[in-house]
Structure 1
């Protein structure tokens, strides 16, 4: 599965899909008429994320922990980050530790809004980049680790219904997120052809100024995470009928 939006390229692997699927029997369901539906949704979404740690053959989803992302490109910012960050063979850890704070469905508007907090989101893989950050030259390639701590995430999904074999499904035409981490920790190995002194100094500068650095490229990370979540959500909702997800 491939995506390209405004300089952000994401390739997300998933198991082969079939025409239709059933929600696993151990997944909770909520009734549309339940006055406590928002709390029911919150609990069930959080529970489902945890149950997808090892993936789901019924839904055609591979493991969530870690989630494999073959390639991810974050474009340069408009301020201090004058470098394209090119990541490959990324493993994303921490999604299944997310705590869902609220979930609301507006069935008339066909919108879903959710808020979650993830204690640790860690992107671990290979990087390459050449440019400037905070006016300092930076060049290197090798192992890297970008960790977002206590990240508050707002999710907004816009759905478009469609019919298949007499049943109604949802396809999300848009999925946007906002990311507000409490802190970001950067670790890029093998900077400047392995010069450990220069590499340690640059990593220290990045971490001492993490807010300024991350804020400048946050839009790229938000688009990337939005694409990740978009692909995963559509793999479920385009294959599982609404009547199998929500109790009438």
Structure 2
């Protein structure tokens, strides 16, 4: 998931020689290295609203994503476009384990609330109701938890070692959600109201469908940051003794 990747990128940044002056330089030989990383993340947290161009981090409020789709032709299929995701900057690090010798990261983040606005095209069947409509969508999610495990390896380019992210495992948990699809069936107000009621009355079933969307939103964003970071800086610059 991608805000998890953001923290992963910040971990790498914390070791970089040419750090911006507002960040603390951490040492991989420091037994309190995780405390140092937490301090840097807390320093950056208020900056996430506007973005941190020095670190190639765009604004997190909102984060903009073009398209996310989920589902299949056998069931419900949803395409979200023009996504605007709010309150990603209000995350808490629940767990952070880092193994620099084996390039492994185990991280859990929690978000008290996320809001996702988008344009939506929804088709298929949900609890017997045939859906086929387009319109604005507004989703509010609470108690969101993201679990991330990543593994990497060194690659040599032009005589310098870089880190390549080889494997990632992402799992999402969504505590509660409330969705509103505005004018999903145009001017058919009764059908619009009944569809929204059906979805929210059965929100636990719909959440199962939505989990890949929330995971992809976070993963695409932070994965991009992490890959740019590790592509730009050699390992020995990112991870000083």
TM-score with structure 2 setting the length: 0.81
Give the aligned CA root-mean-square deviation in angstroms.
2.6
Separation in 1, partners of 2:172, 2:89: 17
Q: Any idea what SS the aligned residue of 1:35 has?
A: coil
* 1:234 aligned to which of 219, 227, 238: 227
User: Among residues 45, 63, 67, which one is paired with 1:71 in the alignment?
Assistant: 67
Point out 4+ residue stretches in structure 1 off by more than 6 angstroms. none
Q: Using the TM superposition, give the Cα deviation of residue 224 of structure 1 relative to its aligned residue in structure 2, in angstroms.
A: 4.8
Native 8 Å contact 2:19 2:25 kept in 1: no
1:107-118 map, 5 Å: 107-118=100-111
Seen in structure 2, the aligned counterparts of structure 1 residues 189 and 121 have a Cα distance that, compared at 3 Å, is same
Distance 2:32 2:57 in 1: 29
Give the match for residue 10 of structure 1.
Answer: none
Are the equivalent residues in 1 in contact too, given 2:68–2:213 (CA < 8 A)? Answer: no
CA distance in structure 2 between the partners assigned to 1:41 and 1:103 by the alignment? 10
More helix, by proportion: 2
Which gives a bigger RCO, structure 1 or 2 (Cα 8 Å, sep 6+)?
2
The whole-number CA distance in structure 2 between the counterparts of 1:149 and 1:170 is 34
SS of 1:127's partner is strand
The whole-number CA distance in structure 2 between the counterparts of 1:230 and 1:49 is 18
* CA pair 241-40 structure 1, distance change in 2 beyond 3 A: same
Compared with structure 1, are the counterparts of its residues 31 and 22 closer, same or farther at alpha carbon in structure 2 (3 Å cutoff)? closer
**Where in structure 1 are there 5+ consecutive unaligned residues?**
1-19
Give 5+ residue unaligned stretches, structure 2: 1-15
Superposed displacement of residue 102, structure 1:
2.2
> Which piece of structure 1 moves more, 226-235 or 44-53?
44-53
Q: Paired residue for 1:202, among 195, 199, 207?
A: 195
1:187 paired with 2:156, answer no
Distance across 2 between alignment mates of 1:227 and 1:176: 13
How far residue 244 of structure 1 moved from its aligned partner, in angstroms, is 4.1
TM-score (norm 1): 0.79
Partner deviation per Cα, 1:184-212 (whole Å, 9 max, x = no partner): 11111112223222212211221121111
DSSP-derived class of the 1:182 partner? strand
Q: Which of 169, 181, 191 is the equivalent residue of 1:176?
A: 169
